[in-house]
Structure 1
């Protein structure tokens, strides 16, 4: 069974960290799904702009600021990921509490650093 990382806040702009994260995840042989405001692709990864009930999401890595997260709380919780990574600038104690109450691990870290140090 394959599990996936969902990049929330994906972008087709190569200067964005979400774009870099998708590239690095793929380079590390991690299966990726992506959600962003605009459809597009990063390499071979399609960016969906509609919420999809993806099966087998292990990790959600957030690239959405705290003020943009509330509308996705239920969606992310209902995916039942093992963990949610809050990248720099996405820290949100309110969401941490909701995730923990649902049995989902919270990790405040940088996906790029985790990948670069083999801690992903």
Structure 2
């Protein structure tokens, strides 16, 4: 099943894990929305700076440290994702608690590993 995934903290820098995640998600044919602090593209996926209203987001995968996540709390919750993946270095007990209270599954895991092991 293909899962529309938002990569929050996307970067055009090919050495960044967020960039690798967008590419791996594309490779596995998951629709990707990439949001970052600089406009650009990763393959054919545009990186946008805005926070557009997007429907049917299955997963939000985070590549922002907890401090940089704070301005996005309301936005993430407004998307009503089924789950949020906290990649290594993005663990955030506050956001995890808020999300869980709203019925959103939270996972502390690496998106790249989940994709590589068919657990995504």
Question: Structure 1 length normalisation: TM-score?
Answer: 0.97
Using the TM superposition, give the Cα deviation of residue 4 of structure 1 relative to its aligned residue in structure 2, in angstroms: 1.1
Q: Which runs of 4+ in 1 moved over 6 A?
A: none
Q: Does 1:110 align with 2:110?
A: yes
Number of aligned residues: 119
**2:90 pairs with 1:90:** yes
Partner Cα distance (1:21, 1:3) in 2: 14
Q: For 1:76, what is the secondary structure of its paired residue?
A: helix
Q: Which runs of 5+ in 2 are unaligned?
A: none
Equivalence for 1:5: 5
Deviation sequence 1:61-116 (CA, Å, 0-9, x none): 00000111111111000100000000000000011000001110001000000000
Partner of 1:23: 23
Structure 1 portions without partners, runs of 5+? none
Q: TM-score, normalised by structure 2?
A: 0.97
Superposed displacement of residue 3, structure 1: 4.7
Deviations 1:17-61 (A, max 9, x none): 000000000000111001000111000101111111111100000
